[in-house]
A and B are shown apart, each in its own frame.
Chain A
Amino acid sequence: MQTAEPQSVSAACWSCGASLPDGKPFCDECGKVQVPAENADYFAVFGLPRKLHIDLSVLEKNFYRLSRKLHPDVYAQSSPKEQQWSLDQTSLLNDAYRTLKNPIARTEYLLGLEGVVLEAGKSEDGKPKDSRVPPDLLEEVFELNMQLEEMRMNRKMGEDDPALRADLEKARTEFESQLAELDTSLQALWTHWDASLDGASEPEKTEIKDEIVALLDRRRYIRNLVRDVNEALES
């Protein structure tokens, strides 16, 4: 374990002195890895505009191209500081790629950049917070939980109830199709958001953000339901 020192942003290559745009991870002139920028934005890492619709093939191509330039394997025989920068730059690149290529993670990340604090993840004490049950699903969820409980009891007793199994499979199909619908809606919201960047008012943008947040909450809830059903059916 080691402690990294805080680094500052440079505007000239430390090695050959060529001028560099801020946040450029390597020098075009001499090819050397640069001091990582503080709080780099994942979109900027790939030279992408901060939009929700992104071209995944461009993302992948840039990921491979940058990996070849920055990876610690390339710097195995370099000075310790270059090795450290390469490590920091590559971990940033990998973190950025992992986040952006996943549509949900990308959406959440962009909302975060826009100052939205998501309910998702952990609360203060680090415990995962249960999302509220969407009101229109209350009845269904209540029934499903009863069935899941029954299924677990059966398993404990070593019994199998084909009718119950069929019900759960039906519920799973139902929720999975809801997930697919949500994903379609999410893409439509992406389009709205990306378009709003061309001069929409702040209240308009806030409205889109709120819609996305609500959709993500619902999606997370349903995804957890599907996970629970899968666990009950598989184990």
Chain B
Amino acid sequence: MAEARIVGIDLGTTNSLVAFMQGEQPVVIPGEDGSNLVPSVVAMPDPKKVIVGYPAYPYLASTPDRVIYSAKRLMGRGVEDVQQELQLFPFHLAPDIQPGEVLRLQIGAQQYTPPEISAYVLRQLKKNAERYFGAPVTKAVVTVPAYFNDAQRQATKDAGRMAGLEVLRLVNEPTAAALAYGLDRQKEGVVAVYDLGGGTFDISILKLHEGIFEVIATNGDTHLGGDDIDHLLMAIALDDIRGDYNLDLRANAEAVQAIRKAVIEAKIALSTSETARISLDLPDGTPYRREITRAQFEQIIQPVLDRTVGPCKQALKDAGIKPEQIDEVVLVGGSTRIPLVRQLTDEIFQLTPRGKRPHTELNPDEVVALGAAVQAHILEGGSKATEDMLLLDVTPLSLGIEALGGVVAKIIQRNSTIPASATEHFTTGVDGQTNVAIHVVQGEREMAKDCRSLARFDLKGIPPMSAGLPRIEVKFLIDANGILHVSAREQRSGKEAEIEVKPTYGLTDEQVETMILDSFDYAEQDFAERQLIEARNEADTILAAVEKASSHPAWQQLSNDERTQIGMISEELRVLKEGDDLKALRDGTHALDEATRRFAELMMDSAVASAIQGQTMEAAGEKLGEGPTAPHPFAPAEIK
């Protein structure tokens, strides 16, 4: 059996894609509907039914409180982070949710965490890939915004596990895009990737040298993207409607979704037209139409786009690079289709004065998935196409420990190449103290309370000694996925200190485990079931053909033994078809196919003979016909 394939997945805020390396080119795997994109939308019209992607869209209009979209914006976050934006989402949080807890969304009587919702999207992508390859897919490279923190990365990895995918690597989206662009040309120099997607913004600056893609600085905002533009336009339309019709639709989830759909259409139109119309019918049937010019649109979204400037400048500064030293700029993410974004990036990186243009050759919706496929291929061991390619990425945020007075002692600076580590020593403050509490944070601010809390640990089992005597060495290691690992030992006794980690916004291993079982079983069962159904159909086909065979003149040409043999094997297959042993069923089908081989040949001969006798081939075919349209088990495709 061939080595199992590793696929590349772009788990996006708005759309998700799965891709793989076909020969020397990464290609996106389409779904059953032929579309490359799977919208990251999950509808659960009833507890037993989960609908993902385009088919989930209609539910946004009919049962908006049972549809989740943009779940990526909720990954690894707490209730205190998302209050504002939840106002415009039609779904609701569980009523008992506490600050500092993993979010739970209330859908009917059920509750789901954001990783579970993402797992449904991943499972759909997994299915699409399995359908395409005709084989199970269990390993993947998944992309994340470069500016994702530890909790958000862990949540993404958890989602993979729940979907039955081993996430071999989390790759930063802008870096993935650089890989996709870097594949077909031998580029050297400094590249900036500006990635404005549905929900997140990243800027990464890379140095390309002999196939090494070395990220030198990254920055961004995990809460900035096309969604924010949509929300601004929605707020304007809602105000407008209230003004004109004295109608407040904010609480009407269906109407809000209709408005959302209308403003997104207008937004997209404005990338190519000078004017567009926000057009929808109000709940009472009154048509609402509003013209919007590109100039107005640009004025509205300017504040959103301006928020990308700061991160770009910071990244340049951290990289120690001036805008004019950037050799190439790559634009990624659907929102970079907006003309004002192109203008803004042109200004930031001073492209026009230098006679340069940004790279937009690859579809901005697909380029990240294509890059993920390249990275997946590298992890598989690579080939000529990816030979010498190596990605060296960085951690986007500084890692620190809360010290006395709530200040942060930074132990790993942002933009350090990962994997990166730091070793710190801790001691006790009281005689006989056996526990030391450590609070790990991520961020650039001076006070721990202003940074992202990652985890609190208790170093336990320290041998009782005088205060200040124990010397506990704690190693913090950020792996190639940007995820933190911690190990500790007490140096005087040489004893491994026990660590109990309480992730602040993460799920515990046990929690993930229970969520996996639910969906994983389901997914595996799904695949097995599908294969079984296919095998049964195959068996049915051949059995039906055998049934008919006895009335064919060629049947009489078989020996008694041959006929008995066929009858026996058919009976066996009929029994196997009722069971669920896939292998036995396939073997049985194969055996019957073998046993009837001579009959098929005889039948062929007689068909040819009939043709010679003046009967048309078609008529002969019709006589045999009525069977399934699939390649007939009795009739080999090539006619001798």
- Interface residue? A90 (CB, 8 A): yes
Q: Given known contacts A73-B379, A77-B380, is B403 in contact with A126 (CB within 8 Å)?
A: yes
- Interface residue? B100 (CB, 8 A): no
Q: Tell me what chain B mostly uses at the interface: helix, strand, loop, or mixed.
A: strand
Return the chain B residue nearest A92 by Cβ: B421
Q: Which of B168, B479, B496 contacts A3 (CB 8 A)?
A: B496
Pairwise interchain contact A1-B212, C-beta atoms closer than 8 A: no
State the CA gap A190–B388 with chains docked (Å). 37
Pairwise interchain contact B409-A122, C-beta atoms closer than 8 A: yes
- Interface residue? B450 (CB, 8 A): no
Q: Give the B interface residue count (CB, 8 A).
A: 42
Q: Which of B169, B390, B421, B496 contacts A91 (CB 8 A)?
A: B421
- Interface residue? A142 (CB, 8 A): no
Pairwise interchain contact A73-B390, C-beta atoms closer than 8 A: yes
Question: B409 — which chain A residues lie within 8 A by C-beta?
Answer: 122, 126, 128
Q: Give the A interface residue count (CB, 8 A).
A: 27
Return the chain B residue nearest A74 by Cβ: B390
Question: B206 — which chain A residues lie within 8 A by C-beta?
Answer: none
Pairwise interchain contact B418-A94, C-beta atoms closer than 8 A: yes
Question: Measured between C-beta atoms, what is the minimum distance from B269 to chain A in Å?
Answer: 40
- Interface residue? B391 (CB, 8 A): yes
Question: A73 — which chain B residues lie within 8 A by C-beta?
Answer: 169, 375, 378-379, 390-391, 480
Question: Measured between C-beta atoms, what is the minimum distance from A84 to chain B in Å?
Answer: 10
Question: Measured between C-beta atoms, what is the minimum distance from B613 to chain A in Å?
Answer: 61
Q: Given known contacts A77-B380, A95-B421, is B485 in contact with A2 (CB within 8 Å)?
A: yes
Q: Given known contacts A3-B487, A4-B487, A76-B169, is B403 in contact with A87 (CB within 8 Å)?
A: no
- Interface residue? A25 (CB, 8 A): no
Question: B378 — which chain A residues lie within 8 A by C-beta?
Answer: 73
Stretch at the interface among A43-51, A63-71, A168-176: A63-71
- Interface residue? B417 (CB, 8 A): yes
Question: A67 — which chain B residues lie within 8 A by C-beta?
Answer: 212, 390, 392
Question: B486 — which chain A residues lie within 8 A by C-beta?
Answer: 1
Pairwise interchain contact B487-A2, C-beta atoms closer than 8 A: yes
- Interface residue? B238 (CB, 8 A): no
Pairwise interchain contact B487-A91, C-beta atoms closer than 8 A: no
State the CA gap A98–B479 with chains docked (Å). 16
Return the chain B residue nearest A97 by Cβ: B417
Pairwise interchain contact A87-B379, C-beta atoms closer than 8 A: no
Question: Measured between C-beta atoms, what is the minimum distance from A153 to chain B in Å?
Answer: 21
Pairwise interchain contact A125-B404, C-beta atoms closer than 8 A: yes
Chain A stretch 121-141: residues in CB contact (< 8 A) with chain B: 122, 125-128
Pairwise interchain contact B484-A94, C-beta atoms closer than 8 A: no
Return the chain B residue nearest A89 by Cβ: B419
Pairwise interchain contact A72-B417, C-beta atoms closer than 8 A: no
Question: Measured between C-beta atoms, what is the minimum distance from B588 to chain A in Å?
Answer: 36
- Which one of A4, A67, A73 has the greatest number of beta carbons of chain B within 10 Å? A73
Pairwise interchain contact A127-B404, C-beta atoms closer than 8 A: yes
State the CA gap A190–B436 with chains docked (Å). 41
State the CA gap A98–B216 with chains docked (Å). 11
Question: A90 — which chain B residues lie within 8 A by C-beta?
Answer: 419, 480
State the CA gap A97–B421 with chains docked (Å). 12
Interface 1/0s, chain A 1-42, versus B by CB < 8 A?
Answer: 111101000000000000000000000000000000000000
- Interface residue? B210 (CB, 8 A): yes
Question: B421 — which chain A residues lie within 8 A by C-beta?
Answer: 91-92, 95
Interface residues of B (CB under 8 A from A): 168-169, 209-210, 212, 375, 378-381, 388, 390-392, 401, 403-405, 407, 409, 416-422, 455, 475, 477-480, 484-489, 496, 499, 501
A/B interface sample: 19 pairs, CB < 8 A: A1-B485, A3-B488, A4-B477, A4-B487, A67-B212, A67-B390, A71-B390, A71-B392, A73-B480, A76-B169, A76-B379, A77-B381, A87-B419, A90-B419, A90-B480, A91-B420, A97-B417, A126-B403, A126-B407
Given contacts A67-B212, A68-B388, A90-B419, 8 further A-B contacts (CB under 8 A): A1-B485, A2-B487, A72-B479, A87-B480, A94-B420, A98-B417, A125-B403, A125-B404
Query: Which 5 interchain pairs have the tightest Cβ spacing?
Result: A126-B403, A91-B419, A76-B379, A91-B421, A125-B404
